[in-house]
Structure 1
Amino acid sequence: MGLFSLVTGWPGPSGFGSASTAEQVTDGVDAAHLTAIITGGASGIGAETARVFALRGAHVIIAARNMEAANNVKELLVKSNPKAHVDVLQLDLSSLKSVRAFADKFISMNLPLNILINNAGVMFCPYQLSEDGIEMQFATNHLGHFSLTNLLLEKMKETSRSTGIEGRIVNLSSIAHLHTYEEGILFDKLNDRRGYSDKKAYGQSKLANILHANELSRRLKEEGANITANSVHPGLIMTNLMRHSFLLMRSSYYMLCSPSSYSQGGHRKILFRLQ
């Protein structure tokens, strides 16, 4: 999707534009043979992605920190679609212990894994460290997903080999990756409180998402694995990620950028997964 299409909503080469919804881009798709993990599936575009995947027949695993919210989403999905196949597992991406526990639990369920949607994240938070001593935005947005992907990658390879179906890994990134520290990712100063910028730290984590997807894609292709890895900018969507933003900033986004709905943001991720 080009910049013109993103801003205007005009359809691109795929036939869809930024105004398209997740239901529109999956119209006619049968995903009954697919299992998908969606991190951050308890709210926002993660919940919308889970809804549409379930609507198309996929077995959806909602990975979320807030189990009450995740179970509420599951209840709504099953109520609106009694045939929906949805499970909820706890995952706190800021904790590597939680990431390992989630991966162990999923693998113990002996399910296939076709799709991994690294969607969850935090944005513009005040300076703080994770329980592992890593700057919170980098820990949650990149390191947690990086670890999760590595822990589940062999399961995805097994699934793609046994089914012949291409696996899909999608990192939710952002155009904010352009607005990070001048040096790029500050590996030697990740946890340095001095000079910390919540906006630049967020951009740094989103840049890491892109670089991770690019390098993983290269390695998978080199290995001959039947799995793709991509990063995607969902557009500007007013989700709970914006809770740490000043009211003036949120108002400016509304006036200048015409934020998309959850269903419109969700379609950009689904294009990578079901097409």
Structure 2
Amino acid sequence: MKGTLRYLIGAAGPSGFGSNSTAEQVTEDCSSLISPHLTAIITGATSGIGAETARVLAKRGLRIVIPARDLKKAAEVKERIQKESPKSEIIVMDLDLSSFASVKRFCSAFLSLGLPLNILINNAGKFSDSLEFSEDKFEMTFATNYLGHFLLTEILLERMIETAAETGIEGRIINVSSIIHSWAKKEAFQFNDMVKPKSYNGTRAYAQSKLANILHAKEVARQLKAMNARVTINAVHPGIVKTGIIRDHKGLITDSVFFLASKLLKSTAQGASTTCHVALSPQLNGTSGKYFADCNESSCSVLANDEKEARKLWKQTRTLIYKRLCQPSSPKPV
């Protein structure tokens, strides 16, 4: 009850920010601390929270890389950002997160540019009402929200570690999760069933993918600490925002619920604030493996805090991806 009241009135937490804070507000004092030519990759930046995150970070002086499946939308976002911030550098590149081959191509193309990589924001999210499979034959929500981001992080991590060592500037990875991760139950959180489910529920699949995002952050944080790497990784809950995922499933009941609950919903500017805070705030130097909501460290579910579960999921995921990538491709029809 106390937490709900704090949320409703937008009370600031220890960070000095709260649920009503916007992405611009939380980064306002960071501009002078940002070294030139910092590079951030932001997935899912063609709309909603991702686009606002890209806009604000570009305004603060970062070079922004927008990987996207829809290059036309990405180009439109680039144009809008550069209209507001003419000196900003925005790079648009092709990426389909649900495809391992596409993730590999994107990473190869990005690394060939020879740019530093300071910030990786795994923001893209998908919600499927019905059961769909990726080209790799894995359930689409899990493939897009979790598996693709896992591989993206895996391939780019070395560059992030190198950049941090070369520049002395801490690298940061942010996994955008959701409070809905707490809806995932341990008995149903079975890897084989998530990648190739026999029965399907869209909300359950989404919750499981968002739980996997947190567990991924927890395990990679542990590994980075063991390596003494100057790179951190954290998970964030942006709040409940009427983004593209929700608009795709709108209807009479949904719209009525949003109208009645409008005071609980965040604007896109507010929804991007926690991601931007965790990406840039000097308060969070060295903070890794944590979960944030409303720009403050928060508690996640018991299952999301299970270190054994995090390690098991990481191993299962890595085995699955590399087994799939090492398979010879099917011959093309003549």
> Which TM-score band (shorter chain)?
over 0.9
Please say which structure displays the higher CA radius of gyration: 2
- For 2:28, give the aligned amino acid: D
Within the candidate set 256, 261, 270, 2:261 is matched to 256
Q: Does 1:127 align with 2:131?
A: yes
Distance in 1 of aligned mates of 2:255 and 2:106 = 34
* Higher mean C-alpha displacement, 223-232 vs 250-259: 250-259
Q: Does 1:211 align with 2:215?
A: yes
- Stretches of structure 1 lacking an aligned partner (at least 5 in a row): none
- For 1:271, give the aligned amino acid: H
Q: Does 1:41 align with 2:45?
A: yes
Deviation at 1:254, TM superposition (A): 4.0
Structure 1 residues 58 and 78: alpha-carbon distance in aligned structure 2, compared to 1, 3 A threshold: same
Structural mapping, 1:98-177, within 5 Å: 98-177=102-181
Deviation string, structure 1 residues 100-150 (Cα, Å, up to 9, x no partner): 011000000000000000000102431110000000000000000000000
Match of 2:190 in 1: 186
Residues 142 and 195 of structure 2 are in contact (CA less than 8 Å); yes or no, is this contact kept in structure 1? Answer: no
Distance in 1 of aligned mates of 2:194 and 2:49 = 28
Match of 1:272 in 2: 278
Distance in 1 of aligned mates of 2:276 and 2:6 = 17
Distance in 2 of aligned mates of 1:207 and 1:250 = 27
After TM superposition, the score normalised by the length of structure 1 is 0.95
Deviation string, structure 1 residues 184-241 (Cα, Å, up to 9, x no partner): 4221212455431100000000000000001001110111000110000000000111
Residues 185 and 208 of structure 1 are in contact (CA less than 8 Å); yes or no, is this contact kept in structure 2? Answer: no
Deviation at 1:64, TM superposition (A): 1.3
- For 2:167, give the aligned amino acid: T
Q: Does 1:83 align with 2:94?
A: no
Structure 1 residues 183 and 35: alpha-carbon distance in aligned structure 2, compared to 1, 3 A threshold: same
- For 1:270, give the aligned amino acid: C
Q: Does 1:223 align with 2:227?
A: yes
- For 1:63, give the aligned amino acid: P
- Stretches of structure 2 lacking an aligned partner (at least 5 in a row): 282-334
Give aligned-pair identity as a percent. 49
Match of 2:27 in 1: 26
Match of 2:236 in 1: 232
Residues 138 and 196 of structure 2 are in contact (CA less than 8 Å); yes or no, is this contact kept in structure 1? Answer: no
Deviation at 1:7, TM superposition (A): 4.2
Distance in 1 of aligned mates of 2:5 and 2:218 = 24
Structure 1 residues 243 and 186: alpha-carbon distance in aligned structure 2, compared to 1, 3 A threshold: farther
- For 1:50, give the aligned amino acid: A
After TM superposition, the score normalised by the length of structure 2 is 0.79
Distance in 2 of aligned mates of 1:8 and 1:183 = 37
1:134 alignment partner, SS class: coil
Q: Aligned residues, how many?
A: 274
Distance in 1 of aligned mates of 2:254 and 2:41 = 32
Structural mapping, 1:236-247, within 5 Å: 236-247=240-251
- For 2:230, give the aligned amino acid: N
Deviation string, structure 1 residues 235-262 (Cα, Å, up to 9, x no partner): 0000111144352134314423621111
2:87 alignment partner, SS class: coil
- For 1:155, give the aligned amino acid: R
1:62 alignment partner, SS class: strand
Deviation at 1:90, TM superposition (A): 1.2
Structure 1 residues 6 and 233: alpha-carbon distance in aligned structure 2, compared to 1, 3 A threshold: farther
1:160 alignment partner, SS class: helix
Deviation string, structure 1 residues 253-275 (Cα, Å, up to 9, x no partner): 44236211111011100111111
Residues 242 and 250 of structure 1 are in contact (CA less than 8 Å); yes or no, is this contact kept in structure 2? Answer: no
Structure 1 residues 219 and 256: alpha-carbon distance in aligned structure 2, compared to 1, 3 A threshold: same
Q: Does 1:9 align with 2:15?
A: no
Residues 124 and 244 of structure 1 are in contact (CA less than 8 Å); yes or no, is this contact kept in structure 2? Answer: no
2:180 alignment partner, SS class: helix
2:65 alignment partner, SS class: strand
